Structure 1
Amino acid sequence: MLLNRRSILVATMGVACSAIARAELWPRKPVRIILNFPAGGPGDAIARYLAQRMSAILGQQVFVENRSGGAGAVGILAASNAQADGYTFLYTTVTGVVQVPLVSKDQNFDPLRSVVPVMGIGSTPMGLFVHASTPVADFPGFIEWARKQPAGLDIGGGGPIVEIATAVLARSANVRLVYVPFRGTAPVVQAALAGDIKAFFSTPSPVITENIRAGKLRAIAVTSASSSSLVPGVDPIAKFIPGYVQDINFGFFAPAGIPAEAVVKFSETLAKVLAEPEMKERLSGFGLGLQPLAASEMARITARDAETIRKTLETTPVKFGE
Structure 2
Amino acid sequence: MLARRHLLAATAVLAAPAVARAQGWPERPIRLVVPFAAGGGTDVLARILANGLSEKLGRQVLVENRTGAGGNLAMENVIRAPADGYSLLMGTNGAIAVNRHLYRGMGFDPLRDLMPITLAFRIEHLLVVSDAVPARSVAELVALAKAQPGVLTFGSGGAGSMIHLAGELFKFRTGIDIVHVPYRGGGPAMNDLVAGNISMMFDSLPSAEPQVKGGRIRALALCGTQRHALMPDLPTMTEAGVPNYAAASTGGLFAPLGTPAPVVARLGAAVRELVENEAFRTQLGRSGGDAVATSPEELGSLMAQESAVWEVVVREANISTN
TM over 0.5, yes or no? yes
Q: Verify the 8 A CA contact 2:102 2:314 in the aligned structure 1.
A: no
Q: Verify the 8 A CA contact 2:101 2:311 in the aligned structure 1.
A: no
Match of 2:233 in 1: 233
**Which deviates the most, 289-298 or 264-273?**
264-273
Secondary structure, counterpart of 1:120 in structure 2: strand
Q: TM-score, normalised by structure 2?
A: 0.80
CA separation of 1:288 and 1:302: change in aligned 2, threshold 3 A: same
Does residue 267 (structure 1) correspond to residue 268 (structure 2)? The answer is yes
Match of 2:154 in 1: 155
Deviations 1:248-290 (A, max 9, x none): 4431111223344433333333233222122333333344333
Total equivalences in the alignment: 314
Q: Verify the 8 A CA contact 1:86 1:259 in the aligned structure 2.
A: yes
Q: Distance in 1 between matches of 2:197 and 2:321?
A: 18
Deviations 1:60-93 (A, max 9, x none): 3212233344344343333333343422211132
Does residue 121 (structure 1) correspond to residue 120 (structure 2)? The answer is yes
Secondary structure, counterpart of 1:45 in structure 2: helix
**Which deviates the most, 82-91 or 260-269?**
260-269
Q: Verify the 8 A CA contact 1:80 1:254 in the aligned structure 2.
A: yes
CA separation of 1:85 and 1:226: change in aligned 2, threshold 3 A: closer
Q: Verify the 8 A CA contact 2:173 2:243 in the aligned structure 1.
A: no
Percentage of matched positions with identical amino acids: 27
CA separation of 1:155 and 1:266: change in aligned 2, threshold 3 A: same
Does residue 254 (structure 1) correspond to residue 228 (structure 2)? The answer is no
Alignment of 1:7-18 (within 5 A): none
CA separation of 1:91 and 1:128: change in aligned 2, threshold 3 A: same
Match of 2:172 in 1: 171
Match of 2:5 in 1: none
Match of 1:215 in 2: 215
CA separation of 1:210 and 1:300: change in aligned 2, threshold 3 A: same
Once the 2 structures are TM-superposed, how far is the Cα of residue 41 of structure 1 from its aligned partner? Answer: 3.7
CA separation of 1:182 and 1:255: change in aligned 2, threshold 3 A: farther
The two structures, once aligned, show a CA RMSD in angstroms of 3.6
Q: Verify the 8 A CA contact 2:33 2:87 in the aligned structure 1.
A: yes
Q: TM-score, normalised by structure 1?
A: 0.80
Once the 2 structures are TM-superposed, how far is the Cα of residue 50 of structure 1 from its aligned partner? Answer: 1.0
Unaligned 5+ residue runs, structure 1? 3-7
CA separation of 1:263 and 1:188: change in aligned 2, threshold 3 A: farther
Match of 1:110 in 2: 109
